[in-house]
A and B are shown apart, each in its own frame.
Chain A
């Protein structure tokens, strides 16, 4: 193998992960995945890791995990098999099973990519506006962070300041609140911004709800839009 070939291989495989490197080696040596020459493959695998290090590429921890698995299998293969333990598994199964599964997924991914993809190979009469068309005109505008903060301030102002801040033992976390809000969306589809804040909510609850909304926007779980006429902010479940 010329150094050039090696270099190319590195670039193609390096960022894809340890399983890809293993597949690449098995393919290159045209070996049967059910009868992997473990010593050869392990040696080659480790050699690649050295190459990656030499090229100043960060060898991710995942690569090392597989390296140690391979080395372990290799040493177990060297141990003499006891005759009375004929039900002993081939140590290589530990790597064959995940390998099989990975190859199946790889093949599935390739098949998916070959389909007539919407927005790539095939189009509909009304492409989802935000997905395909660059300029669109709608009755609603997407709301930015600042509008949301404004709306949030209004809600904070409306909180009745009775009893000041109470230390509440069972305040809910942002994560739990997201789950609750998802439930609301599952039944309603869309709600107004104000609906999510109950009238008698205390400050911490309001803050948690607001943070939950922000997080959901970030995770693209919901879309926030404001009606141009009424100014009502509505949240849509995606």
Chain B
């Protein structure tokens, strides 16, 4: 058990993208998925107990070692990330696609009441959304969906992990004016 944990930890350190249990299982031919899952949960507990610079996150169907948000400013002194900053309009468009996918452009535009061609292009460029195909209706419009990159960027396990939108009780709370 101890060794499996160490092996998995070493894999996590080197892997470029979130490692799925299946993938780890293919590498560690000797052990079962349950053992792998236990080892991952052990690792996660260790990182939580240690409270160091990183933790284990379950994202996009796999596991990944990530730095704790507390240290973001220091990381940014080391590397200059391309600004992710999405405008409010872009975030709303992305949210519509995330919750209602697969979806065509006119249905996206219906919700916000605004043309969103430019935003869609930008989201495609950033690989947060992708084109799934064309809908077999007149005009054959493109069908949009979110990507694995979207799950990775927004720290989501899978699409079911999307936050539940608040039920509208009081409007004052439901829409604050600013966001990051």
CB neighbours (8 Å) of B127 from chain A are 220, 238
Task: Say yes or no: is A145 at the interface (Cβ < 8 Å to chain B).
Answer: no
A24 to chain B, nearest CB (A): 9
Q: How far is the CA of A104 from the CA of B169 in the complex (A)?
A: 11
Interface residues of A in 87-130 (CB under 8 A from B): 98, 100-128
Cβ of A110 and Cβ of B179 under 8 Å apart?
A: yes
Given the known A-B contacts A27-B172, A132-B81, are A118 and B152 also in contact in the complex, defined by CB atoms under 8 Å? yes
Given the known A-B contacts A115-B154, A117-B153, A122-B155, are A182 and B133 also in contact in the complex, defined by CB atoms under 8 Å? yes
Cβ of A219 and Cβ of B131 under 8 Å apart?
A: yes
Cβ of A103 and Cβ of B84 under 8 Å apart?
A: no
Q: How far is the CA of A116 from the CA of B155 in the complex (A)?
A: 6
Which chain A residue shows the least CB distance to B176? A110
Q: How far is the CA of A98 from the CA of B131 in the complex (A)?
A: 25
Task: Say yes or no: is A4 at the interface (Cβ < 8 Å to chain B).
Answer: no
Interface residues of A in 127-142 (CB under 8 A from B): 127-128, 131-134
Cβ of B68 and Cβ of A122 under 8 Å apart?
A: yes
Interface residues of B in 89-148 (CB under 8 A from A): 89, 91-92, 94-96, 98-99, 110-115, 121, 124-127, 130-131, 133-134, 140
State the B residues within 8 Å of A (CB). Answer: 13, 15-16, 57, 64-69, 72, 75, 79-82, 84-86, 88-89, 91-92, 94-96, 98-99, 110-115, 121, 124-127, 130-131, 133-134, 140, 152-156, 162-163, 165-166, 168, 171-172, 174-177, 179-180
State the A residues within 8 Å of B (CB). Answer: 12, 15-19, 23, 26-27, 30, 33, 60, 62, 65-66, 98, 100-128, 131-134, 175, 179, 182, 219-221, 238
